[in-house]
Each structure stands twice: as structure tokens, then as C-alpha cells.
A = this chain, B = another copy of it.
Amino acid sequence: MTSGGLPTLHHLNNSQSQRVLWLLEELEVPYTLVTHIRDPVTHRSPPSLHEATPLGKAPTLVTADGVSIIECSAIMAYLLKTYDTSRKFQGVGLIGHDPFLRDEVLTSYTSASVSPFTIALIFIHWGILSDNSAGKVVEPTLASMYEFLEAQLGEQDYFMGTTPGRPDFMLSWEVDFAVQNGWVELGPKLKAWRERILASSGWKRAMEKPGLPYDLTSFKKR
């Protein structure tokens, strides 16, 4: 189960595990990367992922002690607690907020509030969810969420201060998904935040890993 005392990330291309890969690159700790490639036609995860992880889910992080962890925000909490001992990614330069609360609120806001509406938007674009009878709830709700995030970012480089934190890593996936598909128009601050990420050396290193397309528009075709 262990891999030479290193944590192992089971990664799936074009998936939310990209945000964990980014965090690992920012942490600059040695790790083993196992990339699983989606079926090019069905976009489904390959048998290798199901063979390699208990639930067939990506990301799965196998710790240096051989414990398998699912759920992005939990994996990130573990990685930050274990490897970010100087707390570089836990609120450096954050102004006017309690880092603990800020992290909890914005991480949950991303995964429990923004994410279900992103999924609903996918359903609409696949033509299986009719948003008319719901009084067109999904698109305006998501737009108001992005307004909230724009305001929360304020004058900070990142949501957690001068360096990215768990909410930034979490949100990168949601924003990339929505923006690559043209589903959301970012405000100027979020736009600059996203460009800041794409230009960062940690993100670039993550994108240079072999076998790593990160084309989220493939979900559009169905």
C-alpha cells in the first residue's frame, strides 16, 4: 500500500483531482503520482482506478503510512496538517479574517454550495435538467455565488491571503470548469485571481506532468 514512504496521488485526467495535484506541487514535497486516463469516448474513469483505490474514486491519496483518503477537502486538510508545518498555505497575509473560520466557511461554500449548482448547470447543458419549471433558479443562483466570491476576494491576492489556501485550491476546479465551458462570467478580481493561479510556478509544474490533459470542455459533449 505504501510507496517508499511517500504519499501517492491517484489522479484522473480532466478531473477535480487537478486541484490536489496543484497543492502537492505548491507544498514541494516528494510524492508518487499515478495518472489514470479517462475512456476517450465515454469519459468514464478506467478500470485501473477501480483496481488501485478502495472506492474507484479520484482523487484518492494514499498516505505514507498506507491510509487511503477520499474527498478533496479532506485530502487537502491532511496534506496541509502533515506537510505545511510552517503554515505557508494557511492564512499568510490574510487581513481582517480569522484563518480558521475563513478556511472552514469558504471551503464548505465551494464544495457544499457552489459545486451542486455547477453540477446542476452541467445537467442543464446536457439537456437532462429543465430549469424552466424551477423558475430559472440555477443560473441566477450561481451568478450570485460568484458575486459573493468576488466580494470575498476583495483586495487579497488569494482568498487566504498572499498565498493560496484550501479555499483557493478547492475553488480552482469549480472556476476552471465553469469558465472553460463559458458558463460563468468572472468579475475583474476573480479573473485576476485565476490568471495569477495559471501563471504560478506550482500550477505550471502540475500542468507539465505526463499524460495530463485538463480540458474540461469534454463534459459538454454527450
A interface residues, Cβ below 8 angstroms from B? 55, 67, 69-74, 77-78, 81, 98, 100-101, 104-105, 107-109, 111-113, 115-116, 119-120, 123, 126-131, 133-134, 148
Minimum distance in angstroms from A81 CB to a CB of chain B: 7
Contacts known (A67-B101, A69-B101, A130-B128); A74 close to B116, Cβ less than 8 A:
no
Residues of B within 8 A of A131 (CB): 128
The interface residues of chain B lying within 8 Å CB-to-CB of A126 are 133-134
A113 to B107, CA, bound (A): 14
| CB-contact partner of A116 in B67, B105, B119, B128, under 8 A | B119
Q: Which residues of B contact A73 (CB under 8 A)?
A: 104, 108, 112
Known A69-B101, A74-B101, A128-B134; further 7 A-B contacts with Cβ < 8 A: A67-B98, A71-B109, A71-B113, A72-B112, A111-B111, A120-B123, A128-B130
A70 to B157, CA, bound (A): 23
Chain B residue at minimum C-beta to C-beta distance from A113: B71
**Chain B residues, CB < 8 A from A101:** 67, 69, 74, 78
Contact A108–B74 (Cβ < 8 Å): yes
8 Å CB contact of A148 from B55, B67, B69, B134: B55
Q: Chain B nearest CB: distance from A56 CB in Å?
A: 10
B-side contacts of A123, CB under 8 Å? 120, 123, 129, 134
User: Known contacts being A100-B81, A115-B116, is A71 close to B127, with CB within 8 Å?
Assistant: no
Q: Are B134 and A104 in contact (CB under 8 A)?
A: no
Bound-complex Cα distance A120 to B119 (A): 9
